Amino acid sequence: MIHAVLIFNNNGLPRLTKYFVPPSQRTHILPKAVFALVSQRAPQLCNFLDVPRPAPAKRGSARAGPGGEKAWENGQQDRVIYRNYATLYFVFVVDEGESELGILDLIQVFVEALDRSFENVCELDLVFHFDEVHAILSEVVQGGVVLETNVDAIHEAAQAAALARRQSFAAANPLALGGGSGASGGGGGMVTPLGWVTGKLLGGKAR
């Protein structure tokens, strides 16, 4: 099972964090610990490593929470599988039931799907279009289980979902850029708020 998907930049700033298991009391330290490991690895080393275990919290500490270390221990040794693309690290945290090589290929599929949607994806795309990035990821993985590995199918589903979101937004916000219909009655072009108002005024006078 896939437990988490994390994306960092070279400075360790998280650009995407997605958990598929209930978060523990100290899940917030996992991204920092994982980045500290992968960022210090030499390029020629293996892309698989064990998930770091946090130090036990002191008894009575506010961070200990119910269950203490049991929130992290699941009876299995979880694994970190990552790839480095330019300024970004793509990291999957998985359990022993997943194939390391299969997840390594899945990261490549995810990146190719992002490239299809954003035309050579970069860090800024992840920042300003985080909703689309999460939508693409949901086409690949849901509930910690791999759903789709075909890049074409992922891209088509993501494009259809993005179109549905834009149409829903335009219907709810007729004054938004691209919302409503043009003065000529055609709905195929991009319509500005001024064009929408002009069309309404001209339509009212015609009646």
What is the model's pLDDT at position 182?
A: 41
- CA 79/CA 70 separation, integer angstroms: 18
Do 26 and 71 contact (CB within 8 A), yes or no?
yes
Q: Where do the structural domains in the chain lie, given as residue ranges? A: 2-163, 176-206
Residues in Cβ contact with 27 at an 8 Å cutoff, skipping those fewer than 6 apart: 19
Query: pLDDT tens-digit profile of 102-114?
Result: 999 999 999 999 9
Mark out the alpha helices in 9-54 (DSSP H runs): 30-38
What is the model's pLDDT at position 184?
A: 42
Question: Which structure tokens are listed for 170?
Answer: 């335009």
Pick the CATH number of 2-163 from 3.90.1170.10, 1.10.3720.10, 3.30.450.60, 3.30.300.30: 3.30.450.60
Long-range contacts of range 67-71, CB-CB < 8 Å, 24 or more positions apart? 67/24, 67/25, 71/24, 71/25, 71/26
User: Which residues of the chain have a pLDDT value below 50?
Assistant: 60-74, 179-188, 206-207
